[in-house]
Copies of this chain bind each other. A is one copy, B any other.
Amino acid sequence: MPRKDKTALNGIKEIARQARVSIATVDRVIHNRTGVSEKTKEKIKAIIGALNYQPNIFARQLASRKKIEFAVLIPQVSAATSYWKAPIEGVLQAEKELMPLGISISRYLYDQQHKESFNQAAKKILKKKPAGVLLAPLFVKDTTAFVKACVAAKIQCVFIDADLPAENRLCYIGGDLYQSGMLAGHLIKYSTPDKTKVLVLNISDDLGEQNSQNLQHRLLQKEAGIRAYFEKYKSPRQIITLVVPKTEALAVEKQLLPILAEHKNIGCICVTNSRISTVAGIFEKRKIPKPMLLGYDVTEANIDYLKKGTIDFLLCDKPQEQGYRGMMVLYQRLVLGLPIESIQFMPIDIITRENYMYYQEGRTLLQ
């Protein structure tokens, strides 16, 4: 026997009743499908507004057995850095939560040393046509082209790690480079004597114009933040900048040693990307007294030196949470239809020997 009947008073049935049309027509209007006269469309829209109609996402999902798919387009973990492990872990966490909701996530990881591997992965994604894609824009020009293609194919794009002045991207989730430079300045001021010098280092493989442009930008932003800090608080320091275009320890050492010889009284060395461990290794190997070492990102190598006290501070902008939130933002937009803030800066965490365990790779955000 049937159960007691109690029809919802604000579903598409009610809209259809008030508009004196069938629910199929209401459905067409809700989804902006063609084949409805302007007149009835307006009438239905008015009623939808008046009723403040909220679709039942359970019924919607059940009826349209559409499987929603998201894609992830970021670098794979490489010999040079394990940085990208973290965002992937955030993505996996999101996947666990979204799978019961019928959402699947495909990962397309490329080799950040090879632009073609990015483009191949991008092409595959465009063929698969997921509802949304999470990406890290390392190659400026190619990423711009990819995003344009996505917009054309109605694929939503979320950026992590770095932003790009791309129109129509859904949002950027990541750190505020300038502010993180300010924070580095603060720690340096607190932890080193006033008259010491600060050496700011960027260590990364030169991969041609585009890529280095991107890295250059990161370095400059952070450096500007550090300088701004000492200016703001009227505590002038001499700041030396050095760009090392190779990641091998020996190459770094070759450039670093002359600087150390030339400038006595360096109170702090700050590496603006994840390679502070290389510098720490040099000091350890040569057994020379080290200044304060401050770097970015919670990689395994960095943690090792942090534990030993060789590295003093690490800053990080929550790469794992960037991956997690990136996926959740796609879910919120594409499934729940919620509005999304277009720039979401992550808090900058300060990591020391005492709290690193909470930030380590492998720790999941939820559960």
Contacts and interface: CB of A to CB of B under 8 A. Distances in A.
A353 interface: yes
Given A62-B56, A190-B191, A183 B328 contact: no
A183 B347 contact: no
Contact of A58 (B61, B186, B359): B61
23 contacts: A56-B62, A57-B58, A57-B100, A57-B101, A58-B61, A58-B62, A59-B62, A100-B336, A101-B336, A179-B354, A182-B354, A183-B352, A183-B354, A190-B312, A229-B354, A329-B367, A338-B367, A340-B367, A347-B358, A348-B355, A348-B358, A349-B350, A350-B355
Interface in A83-132: 96-97, 100-102
Contacts of A185: 354
B358 A325 contact: no
A57 B345 CA distance: 33
Interface residues of A, number: 49
Interface in A306-335: 312, 325, 328-329, 332
B355 A347 contact: yes
A57 B312 CA distance: 48
Interface string A162-184: 00000000000000100100110
Interface of A: 54, 56-59, 61-62, 96-97, 100-102, 176, 179, 182-183, 185-187, 190-191, 229, 312, 325, 328-329, 332, 336-341, 344-350, 352-355, 357-359, 366-367
A358 B346 contact: yes
Nearest to A191: B190
Contacts of A229: 354
A337 B346 CA distance: 30
A355 B62 contact: no
How many copies of this kind of chain does the complex include? 2
Contacts of A176: 358
Given A325-B366, A354-B183, A354-B185, A338 B58 contact: no
Given A179-B354, A185-B354, A352-B186, A332 B102 contact: no
A179 B340 contact: no
B97 A338 contact: yes
Nearest to A321: B365
B57 A332 contact: no
A97 B348 contact: no
A28 B102 CA distance: 24
Contacts of A355: 179, 182-183, 347-348, 350
A359 B100 CA distance: 32
A351 B200 CA distance: 23
A183 B56 CA distance: 48
Contact of A339 (B102, B183, B367): B367
A127 to B, nearest CB: 25
